Structure 1
Amino acid sequence: MTTAPAPAAASAATAPAGTLFPSRPRAQRPWAVIAAGAFLGLVVLAAVFAPLLAPYAPDEVDLSQSLAGQSGAHLLGTDASGQDLLSRVLHGARGSLVAPLALLAVAAVLGVTLGTVAAWRGGWVDTLLSRTTDVMYAFPGLLFVVLIIAVFGAGMTTSVLALGLAYTPTVAKYTRSIAMSERAKPYIEAYRVQGMSGTRICVAHLVPNLGRLVVGYLVVLFGEALMSLATLSYLGFGAQPPSSDWGLMVQEGQAAVVQEALLPALVPGAAIAAVVVSFNIVGVWLADRLGSRR
């Protein structure tokens, strides 16, 4: 007595060669991510090689060329002081990109430390740190930053430190949430059984395993950090003249709008918008790939 072959076996037996294990469909290329990443790469290169690419010094004043339009001598025009806008934007890219990195570094060090301690210790320590971050969340971030600047004075360093403190609760809450799930994994208990101290487990194993998710989350925050710093510079609390910071350039070029000269404010404003949008596109894609938005 013979039995009929199972459907799966029958289909495998009759399947043409090369189709037993069909290949997975190719993922579509994220063209928006590629374009945004290429643009950011060009911005970084322009910032690094700004002294070589800029046709003029960023602080070179030529009042005879005040509010000049686009020309062969000034590809993006000039501002009210006759300073070349292309040169100022290229040189300003350095500070406009480095300052958010410093801001997020401050927030990451403090936030990851607080979040990890809260998740590891639990109990009253977790409750105290959680309530502290909740209070900081309830306090308007911009007002908190302005208060710090009012005490310690305006400037880019003060703005970076103040915004780093303002971003700390966000990073701390996210770190705590992923550290809680990581702490429940078997390898943590295995290290405890081996007699390893909690501090060593956190520093050598727990935090490094959180690094991939935290980095993906920080990339998403980069565009927001850049915009926050530009806002402070626009309000006069961040970078100070004669800096070529993009936010400060928008503030300085605002007065020229009434004279129908749009380029002094439009050029740095467009640079801010393009970089922020590009970082958001790349950041969301990278966070999805790293699992930071689960």
Structure 2
Amino acid sequence: MTATIETPDPAAGAGPAAGPARPGLLRRSLRRPASALAAGYLGLLVLAAVAAPLLAPHDPNLQDLANRFAGPSAEHLLSTDEFGRDVASRLVHAARVSLAAPLISLAVAIALGVPTGLLAGLRRGPFDAVANRISDTLLAIPAIVLALAIVAVLGPSLTNAMVAIGIVFAPQLFRVIRGAALVVAEETYIASAAAIGCRTSRIVFRHVLPNIRAPLLVQVTLLMGFALLVEASLSFLGLGVQPPEASWGSMLKAAYDNQFEAPYAVLPPGIALMCTVLAFNVLGDSIRDAVAGGRTR
């Protein structure tokens, strides 16, 4: 991914102002109807997840064995599962897990990948060489296989699954941040800031981070959708969220196990997962196009 570097006004004594750049980037990103629709969908999904106890018509874990695999009705809009639990209620509550899980994994990835990428790009030397070899090694392993190995060591749980996904994503963020930091480190204002005695922390926060926020935002947005897929895969395999808590991945697993009794049970979690991942990808592509458009002007 190509980093976007904005050269600041030397008279200002700092990197480009963060204030006007971010709103401009977001406005350019949401200019397309598809990106605006994706952002609106994600906003409504977040509101639904926050208000899940109010929106859910039933307790998501309440079992009613007399109504197993009941079809859609006024009482159960999306039918019931193998334990008679309301699918609509579980779908809404599962949105909490399916949205919080990528945020946790991205937080772990940012905590691991961004500082090491900045240090490798600005300092170089032996640390850069070692960090690159570790990153290349981790990137050579398929993401789901590495996540499975980490979860197998830590034990099956949602937190462990998210930590595993964060470790898997860290090398990707490291490469993006390192590449952007290498370009910024060659700018004259970085040398000027170091020459007048600016601390490394000030150089990083005032000069480097404002110039790499665009590629970082693009990468994080795209990884959100991928993290959602990996979390659903781990939950499908029983290594993510544990019963009776629901996630879209575990609901897909239950639908798969009961595909002959309820052949359409796969549709609600499957459509929710597909639409959410698509929305993250569309939004990430729009931000990437906005960054490229800002660079050409």
TM-score past 0.5 threshold: yes
1:150-191 deviations in Å (ceiling 9; x for gaps): 222100000000110111000000111111111111221111
Q: Is the CA contact 1:214–1:292 (under 8 Å) kept in the aligned structure 2?
A: no
Q: Is the CA contact 1:77–1:263 (under 8 Å) kept in the aligned structure 2?
A: no
- After superposing the two structures, state which structure 1 stretch, 157-166 or 180-189, moved more: 180-189
Aligned to 1:24: none
1:24-58 deviations in Å (ceiling 9; x for gaps): xxx99522222222222221111111111110011
Identity among equivalent positions (%) equals 38
Aligned to 2:79: 77
Q: Is the CA contact 1:115–1:179 (under 8 Å) kept in the aligned structure 2?
A: yes
State which of 38, 42, 64 in structure 2 corresponds to 1:36.
38
3-state SS of 1:258 partner: coil
State which of 167, 192, 195 in structure 2 corresponds to 1:193.
195
Matched, 1:181 2:183: yes
TM-score with structure 1 length normalisation?
Answer: 0.86
Runs of 4+ deviating beyond 6 Å: none
Structure 2 gap segments, 5+ residues each = 1-28
Alpha-carbon distance change, 28 to 254 in structure 1, aligned in 2, over 3 angstroms: closer
Aligned to 2:50: 48
Q: Is the CA contact 2:176–2:215 (under 8 Å) kept in the aligned structure 1?
A: no
Alpha-carbon distance change, 92 to 293 in structure 1, aligned in 2, over 3 angstroms: farther
Q: Is the CA contact 2:81–2:87 (under 8 Å) kept in the aligned structure 1?
A: yes
Aligned to 2:273: 272
Alpha-carbon distance change, 139 to 43 in structure 1, aligned in 2, over 3 angstroms: same
Structure label with greater radius of gyration: 1
Aligned to 2:11: none
**Residues in 1 aligned to 2:210 and 2:294: alpha-carbon distance in whole angstroms:** 18
**Residues in 1 aligned to 2:293 and 2:255: alpha-carbon distance in whole angstroms:** 39
- The residue identity in structure 1 corresponding to 2:233 is T
**Residues in 1 aligned to 2:292 and 2:118: alpha-carbon distance in whole angstroms:** 18
User: How big is the shift at 1:204?
Assistant: 4.0
Aligned to 2:88: 86
CA RMSD of aligned residues (A): 2.0
Q: Is the CA contact 1:213–1:291 (under 8 Å) kept in the aligned structure 2?
A: no
**Residues in 1 aligned to 2:242 and 2:78: alpha-carbon distance in whole angstroms:** 23
User: How big is the shift at 1:141?
Assistant: 2.4
Q: Is the CA contact 2:120–2:128 (under 8 Å) kept in the aligned structure 1?
A: yes
- The residue identity in structure 2 corresponding to 1:108 is I
Q: Is the CA contact 1:58–1:88 (under 8 Å) kept in the aligned structure 2?
A: yes
- The residue identity in structure 1 corresponding to 2:146 is F
User: How big is the shift at 1:129?
Assistant: 1.1
State which of 215, 228, 233 in structure 2 corresponds to 1:231.
233
- The residue identity in structure 1 corresponding to 2:287 is L
Matched, 1:285 2:286: yes
Structure 1 gap segments, 5+ residues each = 1-26
User: How big is the shift at 1:126?
Assistant: 1.4
Aligned to 1:142: 144
**Residues in 2 aligned to 1:44 and 1:74: alpha-carbon distance in whole angstroms:** 23
Aligned to 1:245: 247
Q: Is the CA contact 1:36–1:278 (under 8 Å) kept in the aligned structure 2?
A: yes
Alpha-carbon distance change, 28 to 217 in structure 1, aligned in 2, over 3 angstroms: closer
Count of aligned positions = 267
Q: Is the CA contact 1:136–1:169 (under 8 Å) kept in the aligned structure 2?
A: yes
State which of 178, 184, 202 in structure 1 corresponds to 2:204.
202
Aligned to 2:8: none
3-state SS of 2:91 partner: helix
- After superposing the two structures, state which structure 1 stretch, 98-107 or 131-140, moved more: 131-140
